[in-house]
Amino acid sequence: MKKIGFLGLGVMGLSMALNVSKKIGVEVIGYDVSETQLHRYREMGGTVAASAEELYSTCDVLLQMLPTHAIIQHSVEEAIRLGRPGNIIVDLSSAAPDIILDLNKKAMNAGMFLLDSPVSGGNPMAEAGTLSIMTGGDPQAFEKVKPVLECMGTPVYTGGSGSGDTTKLINNMVGGAILVAIAEGYAFAAKAGIDLQTTFEATRHGFAGGPLYDNKVPKVLKRDYEPGARIAVHRKDILNAIHYAHKMDVDLPLTDVVLRIMDWANDNGYVNEDQAALVRYYEDKMQVTVGQEEK
């Protein structure tokens, strides 16, 4: 690797790019369409590119953390058009696997490599460099960029093209079901009139407990909806899972329920709050208030 580009310096992307630039020992240049984010990256010690085209044409490894399928597709196609054979494109975003499979064919035809390498862990783990990273694609290309990925967290090679994004969808399908179950359970507890903190202490080390439970239940109890991970971002993966399920002609009944509740949050203006705010759906349906804000 001679030069690494990082495209997409959003909330998570900024922290990820900084971790790579500080740890890898190779020149890293970043770019984002937001002047504010470029300024923040520069202030924090990052090197800024003049344009996305500069990354595509000068970097042999391109990392991208982008928000939508249209932007992901355009970026990969531009990286293929302006890049050189042997280049490795690493999509850290969350995309539908069939879209990645199509883009991978184009990359292979150009003599390049596309790795689908979505991440999980939200903003806190992005800052700490402890993200879970699920990577699909060419195994030799993965080995080349593994030291780069390790700057951001723990990479696991999941198999051929599209497998990384499929693994991420599974991660968020399961996580979404747990989040909705937490919201439903604690709204039920509030309606029953039992103490919510006692409920948490009595259950956190039992069958229902775990890292997600320990992270989200206290936020529910404090009505703390400041986003560590936004409903909007999780909802995008749920939509991707349902999209891919339709391609495979299968049903996802539990995931459909998760989407219905996330759609309610979207329609009622809560989609940019933390996933803990899914409890608002049940507050509305059960006519109950769950938790109490700290003074």
Per-residue pLDDT tens digits for 21-65: 999 989 999 999 999 999 999 999 999 999 999 999 999 999 999
Q: Using DSSP bridges, classify how beta strands 131-136 and 153-159 pair: parallel, antiparallel or unpaired.
A: parallel
Q: How far apart are CA 242 and CA 173, in angstroms?
A: 10
pLDDT in tens, 245-266: 999 999 999 999 999 999 999 9
Q: pLDDT confidence of 271, banded at 50, 70, 90?
A: very high
Q: pLDDT confidence of 74, banded at 50, 70, 90?
A: very high
pLDDT in tens, 172-227: 999 999 999 999 999 999 999 999 999 999 999 999 999 999 999 999 999 999 98
Q: How far apart are CA 236 and CA 226, in angstroms?
A: 19
What would the mean pLDDT of 154-179 be, rounded to a whole number?
97
In this structure, which CATH number among 3.20.20.100, 1.10.1040.10, 3.40.50.720, 3.40.50.450 belongs to the domain 166-286? Answer: 1.10.1040.10
Percent of the chain with pLDDT over 70: 100
What would the mean pLDDT of 116-135 be, rounded to a whole number?
93
| Residue 32 vs residue 124, higher pLDDT | 32
Q: pLDDT confidence of 160, banded at 50, 70, 90?
A: very high
Average pLDDT of the chain to the nearest whole number = 96
pLDDT at 1: 78
What would the mean pLDDT of 222-248 be, rounded to a whole number?
93
Q: Report helix angle 163-192 to 97-109, nearest 10.
A: 160
| Domain locations in the chain as residue ranges | 3-159, 166-286
Nearest to 163 by CA among 136, 190, 128, 124: 136
Percent of the chain with pLDDT over 90: 93
Structure tokens belonging to residue 1: 């690797």
H/E/C letters for each residue in the chain?
Answer: CCEEEEECCCHHHHHHHHHHHHHCCCEEEEECCCHHHHHHHHHCCCEECCCHHHHHHHCCEEEECCCCHHHHHHHHHHHHHHCCCCCEEEECCCCCHHHHHHHHHHHHHCCCEEEECCEECHHHHHHHCCEEEEEECCHHHHHHHHHHHCCCEEEEEEECCCHHHHHHHHHHHHHHHHHHHHHHHHHHHHHHCCCHHHHHHHHCCCCCCCHHHHHHHHHHHCCCCCCCCEHHHHHHHHHHHHHHHHHCCCCCHHHHHHHHHHHHHHHCCCCCCEHHHHHHHHHHHHCCCCCCCCC
Is CATH 3.40.50.720 the right assignment for the domain spanning 3-159?
yes
The whole model's pTM is what?
Answer: 0.91
Q: pLDDT confidence of 123, banded at 50, 70, 90?
A: confident
168 assigned to active site = yes
Alpha-carbon distances of 164 from 125, 167, 192, 288, rounded to whole Å: 19, 5, 42, 40
In the set 168, 216, 219, 236, the catalytic residue is 168
Q: Which long-range contacts (CB under 8 A, 24 or more apart) does 290-295 make?
A: 290/186, 290/187, 290/190, 290/196, 290/220, 290/221, 290/223, 291/186, 291/190, 291/196, 291/220, 291/221, 291/222, 291/223, 292/221, 292/222, 292/223, 293/222, 293/223, 293/224, 294/222, 294/224
